[in-house]
Structure 1
Amino acid sequence: MSNVFIVGGSGKVARHLARQLSTRGHTARSLHRDARQADELKALGAVPVSGDLLQLDIAGLAQLMTGSDVVVFSAGAGGKGGAQMTNAIDGDGLELAVAAARTAGIRRFILVSAFPEAGRGKVVSDTFENYMAVKKRADVHLAETDLDWVILRPGTLLDTPGTGNVRAGLAIPYGGVPREDVAATLLEIIENPEVNRIIIELTEGDTPVAQVVQRLAHS
C-alpha cells in the first residue's frame, strides 16, 4: 500500500482521490491551509496535513512530505486571484513541490495539468491565456527532472458522477471528464508504477479506467 501526499488536498479532484485511496487501503495525506477543512478531509479517510503552499519553503514542505511514496500535485488557483495567484500556485508552487519531493527522497511525482486544446476556438481572457502558459511551463519543468513523473492532462472538469469509463492516450480529441473519473485514473496510475515518464490526455470515454491505465503501462 502507498503513502500518497496530495498537494492541493482540499480541491475537488483531490477529495475524490483521498476517498478512493482510503477505500483501496492506501494512506492519503492531504495538504490544506484552512483549519476548517481538516474534519472534512478526515471524513473522506484522509490524514489532514496543515500547510500553506504560498508560505512554505522547500525544507518545510519536504518535512511534511517525508515518509510518502508518491506526491500528487493537484493544486491550482482555479482562476481566483488573477495571474499573480496562478503564477504563485500553478507555477511556483509546482516547482516548490518538485524541489521538496527531491529533498525528501520521493521519486514518484504525478502532476494534474491541463488539456492543451482547452481554449481552442473560443475567445478567452488574458487570465486564461496566462493559466495555460503557466501550466505548460510547469509540465516542462517536471518533465525535465530525473523524477519518475507522470503528467495527467484532463479535459474540461465536470461535477457529474463518474462512470468508471474514460478515454486516455498520448494524444486524443478534446472533451470533458468527471472529476471522479480523473481521481480514479490517478489512483490506477499510483497503483501501476510502470506507468512512468509519460504525458496522458484524458476525457470521458467507453473503456474502464483500469484497462486504459494497463494499456498505458505496456505502451
Structure 2
Amino acid sequence: MRVVIAGAHGKVGLRLGRMLADRGDELIGIVRNPEHGPDLRAHGVAPIVLDLEQATVEAVSDVLAGADAAVFAAGAGPGSGAARKDTVDRAAAVLLAEAAEQAGVRRILQVSSMGVEQVRDGAAPPEMDEVFVAYLKAKLAAEEDLRTRDLDWTILRPGGLTDAPGTGRVRLAPHVERGQVPREDVSAVLMALLEAPATAGLVLELTSGDTPIPDAVSAVTSLP
C-alpha cells in the first residue's frame, strides 16, 4: 500500500510511518521543515517538504498522485496560538481532503480529538482555555468538511495523548468514556483502520482499554 502521511514528523505520524514501513508499505511523509527529512528516512518514509499552510491544492494533489490512502496526522502543536490552530488543524486538513478528491485518492483517515462536541454551536465550558477552544473548533470544522466529501473517510478522535509505551489494547467506538491513550496505540489503530475499508464513514473515539486492537477494529466494522 502506498500511503501519504501529512504531519509525518509528529509524534503520531512518525510512529505510524515506522509501523507501516516495517510491514512493507510505501510511505510518503509531508513535512514543513527540511531538517526533518533524515528522521523520516531513518523510519523508512520518503520525505516531501511542503508547507500545508501555504501550499496549493494542485501541489498537494501532485504528492498524493498514485497513493492508495492519505492520513492527516498534522497539528499546530503545543505552544501555538489560536491562529495556527485554524491554519493547521482546520485549513491544512481541508486542503488534504480537497487534494485527495482531485488526485482520486478515496481512502483518507483524519486524526481529530475527543471533546470536539463541547464546542459545537459555539458553546464551550467557561473554564476552558481559549486556545484549547480554538483547537477543538478547528478539529470540529475539519471533521465537518470531510464528512461532506465523496471520499472513503474515517475520523479518529483519540483521548488525551501520552508517550507511554503502547499496550495494544484499546476502547474504540463512536462514543467512549474520556481517558488517555498512548500515541503508539493511536498509530497502531490508524494502521489497522487503513486495512479496514468497512470503517469508512465512521467517527470513532479512542482510549486505552482491554480489547486487542485487531478485535476492536473488527467490532466497529459491524456497526449498523
| TM bucket normalised to smaller | over 0.9
2: distance between equivalents of 1:65 and 1:14?
Answer: 16
- TM-aligned CA deviation for residue 42 of structure 1: 0.8
Structure 2 length normalisation: TM-score?
A: 0.93
Call closer, same or farther: CA 1:205–1:61 in 2, change over 3 Å.
same
Q: Which amino acid letter does the alignment assign opposite residue 99 of structure 1?
A: E
Call closer, same or farther: CA 1:66–1:198 in 2, change over 3 Å.
same
Call closer, same or farther: CA 1:36–1:192 in 2, change over 3 Å.
same
2: distance between equivalents of 1:38 and 1:15?
Answer: 11
Query: Which stretches of structure 1, 4 residues or more, deviate above 2 A after TM superposition?
Result: 117-124
- TM-aligned CA deviation for residue 121 of structure 1: 7.5
1:161 aligned partner: 165
- TM-aligned CA deviation for residue 79 of structure 1: 3.7
Percent identity, please: 37
1:131 aligned partner: 135
Between the two proteins, the alignment pairs up a number of residues equal to 218
Call closer, same or farther: CA 1:13–1:118 in 2, change over 3 Å.
farther
1: distance between equivalents of 2:29 and 2:184?
Answer: 17
Which runs of no fewer than 5 residues in structure 1 stay unpaired? none
Q: Secondary structure at the match of 1:109?
A: strand
Q: Secondary structure at the match of 1:194?
A: helix
Q: Which amino acid letter does the alignment assign opposite residue 148 of structure 1?
A: D
Candidates 182, 187, 190, aligned match of 1:183: 187
Q: Deviations over 1:21-73 (max 9, x none)?
A: 01111112110121111111111111111111112100011011111110100
1: distance between equivalents of 2:171 and 2:126?
Answer: 23
1:12 aligned partner: 11
In the TM superposition, what are the counterparts of 1:89-168 in structure 2 within 5 Å?
A: 89-116=88-115, 123-168=127-172
Structure 1 length normalisation: TM-score?
A: 0.95
2: distance between equivalents of 1:122 and 1:162?
Answer: 34
Q: Which amino acid letter does the alignment assign opposite residue 199 of structure 1?
A: V
Please say if residues 116 and 136 of structure 2, whose CA atoms lie closer than 8 Å, have aligned partners that are also in contact. no
- TM-aligned CA deviation for residue 180 of structure 1: 0.2
2:87 aligned partner: 88
